[in-house]
Structure formats: C-alpha cells, structure tokens
Amino acid sequence: MPIKKLDIYILKAYFASLIVVTLAVGLTIIVINIVEELRDFIDHDVPFLSIVEYYFYFGGWVLKSFLPMFVLLATLFSVSILARKNEILAMKACGRSLYRITAPIFVVTMFLAAGHFYYNEFIYPPANQKRLQIKEFVIEKRSKTAIGRVHNIFRQIEKGHFYTIANFNVERKEGNDLRVYKAQNGKISEIITAPRIQFTDHRWIANDAVVRKFDEFGEETYAEQPILILEKIEEKPEDFSRRIGKPEDMGYRELEAYIDLMKRTGGPYAREAVDLKVKVSYPVASCIVVLLSVPFASNPRRGGIAVSFAVGAGMSLSYFVLFRTLQSAGYSEKIPSELAVWGVNGLFFLIGVISMLRARK
C-alpha cells in the first residue's frame, strides 16, 4: 500500500491524539500513585532525585500496562474529530472506503504492537528491576545484606535427583551443609554430603564430600572425596538470591526460564504458563481495538471527545474485566490456557470485524 498525503494526514492526527492521551492518562496515573506513596516518602525522608528516578521507571510500567488503552482512546479521538469536521465524509466522496481510511492506522498499530512486545521483553524488565530496587532499598529502607544470605535451599536437578543447602552466601559464592539425593525406582540410590560447597571457575565444588551408594539389595558403599565436582547443578550463585517478581514484570525469556526451573524443582507453574502466553496476546490487543474504534468514531452523529472518552473507557473496562476473568479461570486450570489467553482477543476481534463490515463504507 503506497503512502499518500492523505495517509500522512490521518497518521498525524492519530499520533497527535496518541501522544496527548499517553501523557494525560499516564500523568494522571502517576499523580494518583504519588498521592498514595506520599506518606512513605515523608516518613523515610526519601531524596527528591530518588523520587524523580523512581517515577521515571514507573512511567515505563504505565506504558507497558496501558498501551492498548492509549491506542483505543487515540483512535477514537482522532477519527471522531475527523468525522465531526466532515473530513471522513470528504474522503469517502473522493472514493476512499472506510477500510482504506483505516489501513494506515491499522498498519502503524501493528508496528506499535510489535514494539510493545519488544519493549516488554528487552527494555522494561531491567528498568523495572531498578524501580523495584529504589522502592525496596531507598523508599522502604530495607537492608541489602540480608538478601545475599539464603537459607534452606531446595532444588531438583531432575526427577528423583535433588539437593539441599542449609546456608549460602551469594557474595562469597559458598555455602555449608550440602546434601544431594538420588533415587531410582522409589529407593534412594545415592547420598552425597559435604560440610562446604563453593562456586569456583564456573563450576560447583563440594569439599570433604562423603559419597554413599546403595545397590538394589540395600548394600552400601562408602567413599570420601576431598574435592568433588558437581557437574549436574545448573544454578548460578545469584539464582539463589534472585527474588521472584510478578510474572507480568518479567520478560518472556525470564519467565520461560522460571517455568523451566519450576518444572525441574517440581513446583507449580500453571499460573506462569498462562502469563507467558499473555505476553504475546496482550500487545495484539492494540490492533484489535482499532477495528472496534473506527466504525463507531467514523459516524459524525456519534462523535465528540466526551462521547469517545466514555466509549473508550467502557470498552477498556469490558476488555480488562473479561480478560482477567478468563485469566483467573486459566490459573485454576478450569479452562485451557489458550482459551484463557486468546478468548477475549478472539471475541473482540470478531466484534470488530462485524462492526467494520456493517459500517458505512
């Protein structure tokens, strides 16, 4: 589709509305949060620059969480303003169908959706980590040293093969009281104990280890090894102190790695499996809301900023309520994860397509 002056004109109106909506709604959300956190800022004597830095990263969370709503409102505002000025009618009189008028907005929004996914995957997670660190260590005044000392670690290497560490110092990369258990056919086949374990030269080493093996008849063999390399332990020292954040705050690969860890350790991961698919489906919502918005806003009798805002708020509320409802059902495994993730998108896409087909061309 060649880009023409009329396409550029439509896109200018669209991007102008998108910028205004993003700044207006985004700043409103930030101001509301400032009011909620104001008491903590005062009680903990938080420096002004730290507050500014915190809300710089908080703005990234707003963009990540509400971009489809911003796109919805921007589409409604820009198209309704064009309709109120009879510019949509003039475009149709010149031979442009509603589909052709919608095309530049839809194509650009597809790129926005792809950028939204890229942002959520590569830019947002490290920036959000800084926001959480400011909140925890600067605003809430929690100690950093306590995080580097981990107690009662339990990890599964594979089915029937797991290990425990009583205490671990992440900074020193060493711990004490290691126990490794291996079972076959429901019976313990090997136990390794060591008073000390350390991570050196990218590998785990158990010092003064004792290896006990049991055959199928229960006979035991005993061996002492001053230095034992534990090749099957895949975790790194920082993995033990890593605080598991909310799935929505992780990148796709980070959450995928966490799910893999849960599979290896035997932990639950149904919720995270749903959230992993949400990371793809949610950015796609930006494209779907364009199909919903244009047919309504292009009718000059329905136009107007107030009406568009009300309709946008209603659509956004309906989308989020239905989305969270199916997501919760997916968490509890009452419905398949694909339906939980894509069900609302499919419904709104169908409504959008029908609205486009029935709208005046």
Structure confidence at residue 338 (pLDDT) = 94
Structure confidence at residue 283 (pLDDT) = 96
Provide the whole-model pTM. 0.80
SS3 labels along the chain: CCCCHHHHHHHHHHHHHHHHHHHHHHHHHHHHHHHHHHHHHHHCCCCHHHHHHHHHHHHHHHHHHHHHHHHHHHHHHHHHHHHHCCHHHHHHHCCCCHHHHHHHHHHHHHHHHHHHHHHHHHHHHHHHHHHHHHHHHHHCCCCCHHHHEEEEEEEEEECCEEEEEEEEECCCCEEEEEEEEEEECCEEEEEEEEEEEEEECCEEEEEEEEEEEECCCCCEEEEEEEEEEECCCCCCHHHHHCCCCCHHHCCHHHHHHHHHHHHHHCCCCHHHHHHHHHHHHHHHHHHHHHHHHHHHHCCHHHCCHHHHHHHHHHHHHHHHHHHHHHHHHHHCCCCCHHHHHHHHHHHHHHHHHHHHHHCCC
Structure confidence at residue 303 (pLDDT) = 54
Tens place of pLDDT for every residue, the chain, 361 residues? Answer: 556 889 999 999 999 999 999 999 999 999 999 999 999 999 999 999 999 999 999 999 999 999 999 999 999 999 989 988 989 989 988 888 999 999 999 999 999 999 999 999 889 988 988 998 899 889 988 776 666 788 888 887 887 888 989 999 998 999 999 999 998 887 889 999 999 999 999 999 999 999 999 988 778 899 999 999 999 998 889 888 766 567 777 788 888 877 876 776 566 788 889 999 999 999 999 999 999 999 888 887 665 667 777 888 888 889 989 999 999 999 999 999 999 999 999 999 999 999 899 887 6
Structure confidence at residue 191 (pLDDT) = 92
Structure confidence at residue 105 (pLDDT) = 96
